Amino acid sequence: MDSFSVPIGRLGQEPYSRIIGYPKTTKKAVAKRVLELKKLGIKNVTFCGPTLLGNVPVLGKGYVGIVVLSRHGKNQVALKIRRTDSSREEMRGEAKFLKLANKVNVGPKVIDSSKNFMVMEYVEGKKIIDWVGELKGRGSAAKLKTVARKILEDCYNLDRIHLDHGELSYMHKHVIVGKFPRIIDFESASVNRRTANVTSATQSIFIGSGLSNIVKKIIKIPDTKRMIESLKKYKHDQSRENFDNVLKVLGLYKV
């Protein structure tokens, strides 16, 4: 579907107001949200992407928010809009966790946030399950191993700062692969539970998921028992040594 750019002054009009106040709200509430966007420095919104809300395309839709492409100053950015039916009262909490991830160079960079919006770096690429599905020909195994290693290194860095993403068992929804892979969508993140980023990501890529079923057609998957044993050891002690051992078992240590 073709994309179309809408200046901020027109976002209060149908059908765009339905996106700004998705799934349902009042004209007054939409007007307040438009003012909020102006304060954040948003110039316009470009409606494009694979997800349709009514007849309006957006980059993505989740339980907490809708993501659209926007312009902030001279830069293209991703704008996350808090759904009116979300259990989250504001977007600042998610922005706080993403900023924490940014400290170890994980996730899209946070630019700004408010009660109902989060402005962040726009990550261009494909969902990992689509990217893996399109790998063909010579060099595919090496590319896949390089991407898997980078994802697991990012997960280790999140474990190291005690930030649990919370949704990496469903990696097909939470990793975008462009120039390099990026973990996105920290709406379920927490610092108050035991981190399981490396273990969840490894299981998603290599052990039991729709993604792992595609991966095993491209690279040889290690023995499941050995993988689980290495993950148990890492789970007990999340040291660099135990993480390196996980990489060795997966055949990713020298990638």
4-59 per-position pLDDT tens digit? 899 999 999 999 999 999 999 999 999 999 999 999 999 999 999 999 998 999 99
Element (H, E) at 154: helix 140-160
**Beta strands 56-58; 181-183: pairing state:** unpaired
Q: CATH 1.10.510 residue ranges in the chain?
A: 126-250
**Beta strands 117-121; 75-82: pairing state:** antiparallel
Is the CATH code 1.10.510 the one for domain 126-250?
yes
Half-sphere exposure of 61 (CA within 13 A, CB side): 19
pTM: 0.93
Q: Which residue has the tokens 């993501």?
A: 67
Q: How many whole angstroms separate alpha carbon 198 and alpha carbon 189?
A: 14
Element (H, E) at 181: strand 181-183
Residues 249, 221: contact at Cβ < 8 Å? Answer: no
What pLDDT digit, counting tens, does each position of 107-156 carry? 999 999 999 999 999 999 999 999 999 998 888 999 999 999 999 999 99
